Chains A and B, each alone.
Chain A
C-alpha cells in the first residue's frame, strides 16, 4: 500500500532549508572530511557525529513535510542502526587507513599500508593461516552438527503428543545458558580427574581420559559444547517449518498412498528448505564469531585458536588497533561475498519456482 502525498515540491539543491537533505549530505561530508584531516581524533569524532545528526534531521523534516509517514515510522530504527552499526563500520574503514594504537593518542595517515602489510607479511605468517583453517574447520563441524541435531529434534517434536510442552522447554534450555557457564562446566566435564567424561571412560577401561590433550579431542570437545548449545535454535526454525505444513496435504498424501520418503521430500521439505537455509546462514555467521568458548575451554592452546580470538587479542591485548581493523575488514569482505552468494542462490531458487 503506497500512501505518499506530496504537498510541496522538493527544495532546490542550493536552497537552505531544513528539509534539503541533499544539501545536508554534501555539506556534512565536506565538513567531516576536513575535520578528520585537520583535527585530533576526539574532536573529529564529535564533528562527524554532529554532521551525521544534521543529515538525519534533514531527512526527518523532509519526511514530515512530505507526509512520508513510512519514513517517520522507520527513522528511529534506522537511526539506532546507523549509529550503532553503520557508523562504526565506516569509522573502522577509515581507521584501517591510519596507524592508530589505542594506548597512544596520535594518528598518522598511512593509506593502504596496513592492508599491504596484512597481505604481504601477515598473510605469510603461518599463525594467521592456522587460525583461518581452524576457524573454517570449527565452522564446518559445529554447523553440521547443529543442523543435524536440530533437524532430528524438530522431527521429534513436530507431532502433538502428551507432555510436549514440558519436554520442549527442556530441550530449549541449552540455548538459555550463559556461555561462561557452559564453558566452565564443560571444562569440568572434560577434566581428566574429576570430569564425568573421564570417570565414565575410566569405569569402562580403567584409565583416565584426557580429552584436551589432543587437537582432535579439543576440537571435538569445543564442537560438542557449541553444537549442544545451539542446536535448539536450529530446532526451533525447522520445527516452525514442519508445523506450518497444512494438515490436509498429509491427508491427501495418505489417500494417495505416498511413501514416507517421498512424502518427506515432496511435501515437507519445501516448507522447511527456506528455514534450513536461514538456520545455516545464521549459525555459520555466528560460528565465525567463535571466540568465547575457545577462550574458556582451551585458551587457544593445542592449536585451537580461531580467527575471532586472534583479532580480539590483536586489538585489545596487543593494542594493534589499526591492524585489527584491517584484518576485520578483510574478513568482512569475505562475509559479504559469502552472503551475496547465499542470497543469489536463494533468489534463483525463488525465481525458479
Chain B
C-alpha cells in the first residue's frame, strides 16, 4: 500500500529546531501539500520523509515499514527537486532512464518505458537533447518524468513550480494533477504558493516555524481556519483581521468594539462562552455587502484606493481607527474615493479569534 505516515517527527540542527512534532499521514493516491512561508520547515519535513535528513525524533513510516534508519536508496521513493537536479552529462532520455537501471531491465524495456512517460509529458521531441539545451518548462517535465518512470512507494515534490513563469505554472499545475491522479500513489508537495496548494492538493498542511498549524482540505482551511495565521495565509486578497474588544454576547449577536465604533455581529455560538476580552475579527473581502446606510451590524469605512481587477473590484478602505479593510465587489458596483461605506458581513464568513489567536468555533 502506498502510504506515508510521519509520526511526531522533529528535526534539530544544534540549537535550532527546524521541525517540531509534525504529524502527517498521506493515504494511497492522496496528494498532500506542505504549505507555508520560507523557513517554516516544510522542505526539511519533506527531506526527512525522503531520507536526505535524519529525524531527530519521531518515526517515518512508508508503505507500512519504518524507514528511520534507511538511506534514500532503500526507501523506494521518487522525488522532484526544486532545482530539477538533472544530470548534466546525460541526455534527456538517459536522465529519465536513470532510475530504471536499478531494476535491471533490458534496454528495449527501458526505452519503452521512457517513451511512454515522454509521451505523457510531451517530451518525445527532446529525448536526445542535453539538459542544458532545453527550456525551463521542459526541464521541469523531465524531472517529473524521471520520477514517474518508476513505480515507487510515493512521490515527493519540492517546490516543483517555483521556477516557472506564471503562464507555465498554470498549465503545469493542471498537467501534474492529471498525471498524479492516474497513478494512485501517496504524494507530498512542498510549496509556498497557496494557489498551487489549493488547486493541486487533496489536503493541505500549513506550517509555520516548524509546526503544522492545520491540516485539512482546501475547503476546510479556507472556510474554517484554525487560527489567525492560517486565516491570513489562505485566501487572496488576504482576509481582513481587525483587533477589537468583545464586550458581550446577547443571543446570537456579539458586541464588539473597535476604534470607537460598536458593532453587533452574528457569530458562532461558541463565542458566547468567551468573557469580555481582546479578540481578532476575521472577515474575508468577498464576505462584505455594502449597503446604503448604517445599521447596528455594519462596519463603517472610507474608500481610499480602488483597484479594478476585471470582473471584480478591490476597494481598500480605512476605518475611523485606521484599520485597513479590503472589500471585493462586483464590477458594476462603483465607489468614489473618500466615499463612506457601510459594510455588512456575511455571518457564516465571520470569524472570531481569541486572544491566543485561535479560532473560537463550536
In the bound complex, do residue A257 and residue B71 qualify as a contact, i.e. CB atoms below 8 Å apart?
A: no
In the bound complex, do residue B72 and residue A249 qualify as a contact, i.e. CB atoms below 8 Å apart?
A: no
Within the complex, the shortest CB–CB distance from A138 to chain B, in Å, comes to: 34
B98 (CB) vs chain A CBs: closest residue: A256
Q: List 15 A-B contacts (CB under 8 A).
A: A248-B85, A249-B85, A251-B85, A252-B85, A252-B87, A253-B87, A255-B78, A255-B79, A255-B99, A256-B98, A257-B99, A257-B102, A258-B98, A258-B102, A353-B89
Contact with A along B71-91 (1 / 0, CB 8 A): 111001111010101011110
Q: How large is the interface on B (under 10, 10 to 19, 20 to 34, 35 or more residues)?
A: 20 to 34
In the complex, A205 has a CB within 8 A of chain B: no
Q: How many Å lie between the Cα of A251 and that of B84 in the bound state?
A: 11
Residues of A within 8 A of B51 (CB): 254
Q: Do A252 and B102 form a contact, CB below 8 Å, given A266-B87, A266-B89? A: no
Scan residues 163-199 of chain A and give those whose CB is less than 8 A from a CB of chain B.
Answer: none
Centre residue among A252, A266, A270, A353 by max chain B CB count within 10 A: A252
In the complex, A259 has a CB within 8 A of chain B: yes
Q: How large is the interface on A (under 10, 10 to 19, 20 to 34, 35 or more residues)?
A: 10 to 19
In the complex, A314 has a CB within 8 A of chain B: no
In the complex, A262 has a CB within 8 A of chain B: yes
In the complex, B275 has a CB within 8 A of chain A: no
Residues of A within 8 A of B102 (CB): 256-259
Residues of A within 8 A of B146 (CB): 256
Centre residue among B71, B83, B89 by max chain A CB count within 10 A: B89
In the bound complex, do residue B81 and residue A257 qualify as a contact, i.e. CB atoms below 8 Å apart?
A: no
In the bound complex, do residue A248 and residue B101 qualify as a contact, i.e. CB atoms below 8 Å apart?
A: no
Residues of A within 8 A of B50 (CB): 255
Scan residues 33-56 of chain B and give those whose CB is less than 8 A from a CB of chain A.
Answer: 50-52
Q: Do A267 and B87 form a contact, CB below 8 Å, given A251-B81, A256-B146? A: yes
In the bound complex, do residue A258 and residue B79 qualify as a contact, i.e. CB atoms below 8 Å apart?
A: no
Q: How many Å lie between the Cα of A106 and that of B76 in the bound state?
A: 83
In the bound complex, do residue A248 and residue B99 qualify as a contact, i.e. CB atoms below 8 Å apart?
A: no
Within the complex, the shortest CB–CB distance from B54 to chain A, in Å, comes to: 13
In the bound complex, do residue B73 and residue A254 qualify as a contact, i.e. CB atoms below 8 Å apart?
A: yes
In the bound complex, do residue B85 and residue A259 qualify as a contact, i.e. CB atoms below 8 Å apart?
A: no
In the bound complex, do residue B90 and residue A266 qualify as a contact, i.e. CB atoms below 8 Å apart?
A: yes
A256 (CB) vs chain B CBs: closest residue: B99
Q: How many Å lie between the Cα of A251 and that of B102 in the bound state?
A: 16
Residues of B within 8 A of A266 (CB): 87, 89-90, 94, 98
In the bound complex, do residue B71 and residue A254 qualify as a contact, i.e. CB atoms below 8 Å apart?
A: yes
Residues of A within 8 A of B126 (CB): none
Within the complex, the shortest CB–CB distance from A350 to chain B, in Å, comes to: 12
Q: How many Å lie between the Cα of A249 and that of B101 in the bound state?
A: 17
In the complex, B180 has a CB within 8 A of chain A: no
Centre residue among A251, A255, A267, A270 by max chain B CB count within 10 A: A255
In the complex, B130 has a CB within 8 A of chain A: yes
Residues of A within 8 A of B78 (CB): 255
Within the complex, the shortest CB–CB distance from B241 to chain A, in Å, comes to: 38
In the bound complex, do residue A262 and residue B101 qualify as a contact, i.e. CB atoms below 8 Å apart?
A: yes
Q: How many Å lie between the Cα of A269 and that of B90 in the bound state?
A: 12
Q: How many Å lie between the Cα of A298 and that of B73 in the bound state?
A: 55
Centre residue among B73, B76, B85, B102 by max chain A CB count within 10 A: B85
Q: Do A252 and B81 form a contact, CB below 8 Å, given A258-B101, A262-B101? A: yes
Contact with A along B275-299 (1 / 0, CB 8 A): 0000000000000000000000000
Within the complex, the shortest CB–CB distance from B50 to chain A, in Å, comes to: 7
Q: How many Å lie between the Cα of A254 and that of B76 in the bound state?
A: 10
In the bound complex, do residue A259 and residue B81 qualify as a contact, i.e. CB atoms below 8 Å apart?
A: no
Our pick among A248, A257, A262 for the contact of B73 (Cβ within 8 Å) is A257
B158 (CB) vs chain A CBs: closest residue: A248
Residues of A within 8 A of B130 (CB): 353
In the bound complex, do residue A259 and residue B79 qualify as a contact, i.e. CB atoms below 8 Å apart?
A: no
In the bound complex, do residue A252 and residue B89 qualify as a contact, i.e. CB atoms below 8 Å apart?
A: no
Residues of B within 8 A of A270 (CB): 88-89
Q: How many Å lie between the Cα of A256 and that of B101 in the bound state?
A: 9
Residues of B within 8 A of A269 (CB): 89
Q: How many Å lie between the Cα of A62 and that of B145 in the bound state?
A: 58
In the bound complex, do residue A255 and residue B87 qualify as a contact, i.e. CB atoms below 8 Å apart?
A: no
Contact with B along A244-282 (1 / 0, CB 8 A): 001011011111111100100011011000000000000
Residues of A within 8 A of B85 (CB): 246, 248-249, 251-252
A270 (CB) vs chain B CBs: closest residue: B89
Residues of B within 8 A of A258 (CB): 98-99, 101-102
Residues of B within 8 A of A259 (CB): 101-102
Q: How many Å lie between the Cα of A269 and that of B77 in the bound state?
A: 26
Scan residues 98-123 of chain A and give those whose CB is less than 8 A from a CB of chain B.
Answer: none
Q: How many Å lie between the Cα of A225 and that of B171 in the bound state?
A: 64
Q: How many Å lie between the Cα of A187 and that of B72 in the bound state?
A: 53
Q: How many Å lie between the Cα of A342 and that of B78 in the bound state?
A: 42
Known: A254-B73, A267-B87. 10 other contacts (CB 8 A): A252-B79, A252-B85, A253-B98, A255-B99, A256-B99, A257-B76, A258-B98, A259-B101, A266-B98, A267-B89
Within the complex, the shortest CB–CB distance from A212 to chain B, in Å, comes to: 46
Residues of A within 8 A of B72 (CB): 251, 254-255
Centre residue among A257, A266, A353 by max chain B CB count within 10 A: A257
Residues of A within 8 A of B83 (CB): 248
Residues of A within 8 A of B98 (CB): 253, 256, 258, 266
Q: How many Å lie between the Cα of A259 and that of B104 in the bound state?
A: 11
Q: How many Å lie between the Cα of A258 and that of B104 in the bound state?
A: 11
Scan residues 97-125 of chain B and give those whose CB is less than 8 A from a CB of chain A.
Answer: 98-99, 101-102
